[in-house]
Homo-oligomer: A and B are copies of this chain.
Amino acid sequence: MSEYIEHDKAGVSVGLVEKKSYTFAEPPDEMILECGKKLGPITIAYETFGELNDDKNNTVLICHALSGDSHVAGYYRPHDPKPGWWDIMIGPGKGIDTNKYFIVCSNILGSCMGSTGPSTYNPKTKEPYGRNFPIVTIGDMVRAQKALLDYLGIKKVLSVIGGSIGGMQVLEWSVRYPEMVVSAVPLATTTRHSALAIAFNEVARQAIMADPNWKNGNYYSGSKPDVGLAVARMIGHITYLSDESMRLKFGRRLQEKTNFSHNFEADFQVESYLRYQGAKFVDRFDANSFLYITKAADYFDLEKLHGSGSAVKAFSKTRSRFLVVSFTSDWLYPTYQSKSMVKAMKKNGLDVSFCEIAAEWGHDAFLLPNERLTALIKSFLESTYTESQKQKNEIRSSDNRLMD
């Protein structure tokens, strides 16, 4: 354990990690996307944590949300100011224990954090894809993750875990590759966006496309649509919080002043917070990726894609155990949506645990330290692993008997 340990407030860190990448779908073997277009080569950035055991049955796949990346835990360099985005959950002895499990997290297709997306150089045109990047779906993202696991020699995944858009990938995994997914943990997510969720995404996209620097997506050689992207991010941040969390966090407190400015400066702390979040985001994220990923989330419709409109039919395709978690103050993907998927799972006789966690932090709650969530995931993984070992041993002993 070295210097980075001092940054680690959440407990012991998994330590130094490295971003790797895997490239596939090289022409002429491009991947045929759900929209019908071809894409290739495709590079997927990924990180792994812990060790794959000899039975290769301890893999946990983490799926990230809109603006996340493969850096789910640990540090790239000893003095990194911050660890990966879910370091509170992933590490030695943590909820997802790196001493027991082999954890894989990859950056989603369409993103800008190392995987192929609209900001990637297009070998055919010799410039970034921009708007020439084809529309990708949650299904396409999952198929790219599957290609990565194939490459890593993983045939079965103990659990696929993720929240928000990551949770959509979890659901997609469970019905698309039932033979591979032993268990699935969709957190703070939905089988399909409500009109409200689509509305927020659409307004955010409009804010980006309204920025004259967006130039129909071809801005990589000039100024970026930063102001549009900042507004889009601000809209997002409102939806990640809740009335209650904003009241607790900001209330009507003023930002470094005792009286109103009587102009259009940021008077209230909440205004200052949103402006800061918007400004910070443009340094690390690509506006086109924001457009493509939100569109993928809006298009996602498990019922339609896998069940001809029926959630019960869609979940008839999976054999996974499930742990479904929602949060009381999440108004982007409210509990009723989780309950509805749980009902459809149960109608298929699936092994489902459901928990609504009381949390005031809105949709963001799934990313924040929460003992309840950590304990739930930890015990769910342990019981899944024990069960899976037991079944393996039973098969082995039955194989041995057959061979006797």
- What is the interface of chain A, defined by CB distance below 8 A to chain B? 35-36, 134-135, 192-196, 198-200, 202-203, 205-207, 209-212, 227-228, 230-231, 234-235, 238, 241-243, 246-247, 249-252, 260, 262-264, 266-271, 274-275, 278, 291, 295, 298-299, 301, 331, 334
Residues from chain B with a CB closer than 8 A to the CB of A266 are 202
| A234 vs B232: C-alpha distance when bound (angstroms) | 12
CB pair B209–A210 under 8 Å, yes or no, is no
In the A-B complex, list the 5 residue pairs whose CB atoms are closest, starting with the nearest. Answer: A195-B246, A210-B227, A195-B250, A35-B262, A135-B262
Residues from chain B with a CB closer than 8 A to the CB of A202 are 234, 266, 268, 270-271, 274-275
Nearest B residue to A250 via CB reads B195
Nearest B residue to A291 via CB reads B264
Nearest B residue to A211 via CB reads B210
CB pair B243–A198 under 8 Å, yes or no, is no
| A35 vs B263: C-alpha distance when bound (angstroms) | 10
Known: A231-B231, A235-B235; 12 extra A-B contacts, CB below 8 A, are A35-B262, A36-B262, A135-B262, A192-B252, A196-B247, A199-B241, A199-B246, A202-B271, A206-B278, A209-B264, A243-B331, A331-B331
Residues from chain B with a CB closer than 8 A to the CB of A249 are 195
| A205 vs B207: C-alpha distance when bound (angstroms) | 12
Main secondary structure of the interface of A (DSSP, over half): helix
Residues from chain B with a CB closer than 8 A to the CB of A206 are 230-231, 234, 274-275, 278
The complex is assembled from copies of this chain, and their number is 2
Select A252's contact among B195, B200, B230, beta carbons within 8 Å: B195
Residues from chain B with a CB closer than 8 A to the CB of A199 are 234, 238, 241, 246, 270-271, 274
CB pair B195–A267 under 8 Å, yes or no, is no
Q: Please judge, given known A-B contacts A194-B247, A331-B243, A334-B243, whether A264 and B207 are in contact too, CB under 8 Å.
A: no
Residues from chain B with a CB closer than 8 A to the CB of A195 are 246-247, 249-252, 268-270
Separation in Å of the A200 CB from the closest CB of chain B? 6
Q: Please judge, given known A-B contacts A135-B263, A194-B243, A238-B199, whether A228 and B250 are in contact too, CB under 8 Å.
A: no
Separation in Å of the A130 CB from the closest CB of chain B? 12
Residues from chain B with a CB closer than 8 A to the CB of A35 are 260, 262
Select A235's contact among B196, B203, B227, B263, beta carbons within 8 Å: B203
Nearest B residue to A202 via CB reads B271
